[in-house]
Amino acid sequence: MICKTPKLNVFKILKKTSAEGPGQRFCIWVQGCSLKCSGCFAKATWSHKENILYSVDELFSLIEEMKNQIEGVTFLGGEPFEQAEALSVLAGKVKSIGLSVVTFSGNTYESLKVKGDMNIDSLLSNTDLLIDGPFVQEKIDYSRPWVGSSNQKYRFLTKRYSLKDILMAHNKVEIRINRNGSFFANGMGDFRQLEDTLCLQVKENNL
């Protein structure tokens, strides 16, 4: 049988991180975002040009290999709902093995629902925690976990997570340094301050 689900255009994957949602998580940063929030720290993910293509099955195999070390999977970007078809199928598979799904979006929940798009609705129905709303530079606030501005909201779409999980968590940044001296930073926090403190050159394409 020919699989018609489109491949996912991916910016980067990280097999295990504790900085992008509750517990240890497999993270997929999708490639492509039309929203272009001012002050976005992930500008390298904006382009919709092909970057790394994965089929849903390829990604699911990688996730299954990590199954015993993670609590769930996080979709972020880029804008996950611009690739809702592939992600909704992947999210369904992830839930079927007992892992949780956290999805970030620069769109609000209401604006996604009003589109009446089957794939968007399917991704929402397979998401346990939606973290929604654009990053707004004038509303920068790093006091809550995983978000950078005060307008962004936590939407508990299933019973898997609750306010308690938010209150127990803190914002953090993880930095991975490669043998060649390059590094990858992820999580949420004041990247500019980090740059000054550690004398690093944090480029805008380092998430």
Run of H or E residues at 156 = strand 153-156
Please tell me whether residue 145 binds ligand SF4 under the rule CB under 6 A.
Answer: no
Nearer to ligand SF4, 76 or 99 (CB): 76
Q: How far apart are CA 207 and CA 204, in angstroms?
A: 7
Give the position of tokens 């929604």: 132
Please tell me whether residue 28 binds ligand SF4 under the rule CB under 6 A.
Answer: no
Nearer to ligand SF4, 20 or 79 (CB): 79
Please tell me whether residue 42 binds ligand SF4 under the rule CB under 6 A.
Answer: yes
Distances from the Cα of 115 to the Cα of 6, 101, 102, 108, 118, angstroms: 20, 22, 21, 11, 9
Nearer to ligand SF4, 17 or 152 (CB): 152
CA-wise closest residue to 124 among 148, 135, 108: 108
Q: How far apart are CA 91 and CA 68, in angstroms?
A: 17
Give the position of tokens 């999980």: 165
Please tell me whether residue 37 binds ligand SF4 under the rule CB under 6 A.
Answer: yes
**Shortest Å distance, C-beta 77 to ligand SF4:** 5
Cβ–Cβ under 8 Å, residues 132 and 155:
yes
**Shortest Å distance, C-beta 98 to ligand SF4:** 28
Neighbours of 79 (CB within 10 A): 24
Nearer to ligand SF4, 40 or 89 (CB): 40
**Shortest Å distance, C-beta 193 to ligand SF4:** 19
Nearer to ligand SF4, 22 or 134 (CB): 134
**Shortest Å distance, C-beta 202 to ligand SF4:** 15
Instruction: Give the contacts of 30 (CB within 8 A, at least 6 positions apart).
Output: 8, 9, 10, 11, 45, 75, 76, 77, 78, 79, 80, 82, 83, 87
Please tell me whether residue 206 binds ligand SF4 under the rule CB under 6 A.
Answer: no
Nearer to ligand SF4, 46 or 60 (CB): 46
Please tell me whether residue 33 binds ligand SF4 under the rule CB under 6 A.
Answer: yes
- Residues at the site binding ligand SF4, with contacts judged by CB under 6 A: 33, 35-37, 40, 42, 45, 77-79, 106, 134-135
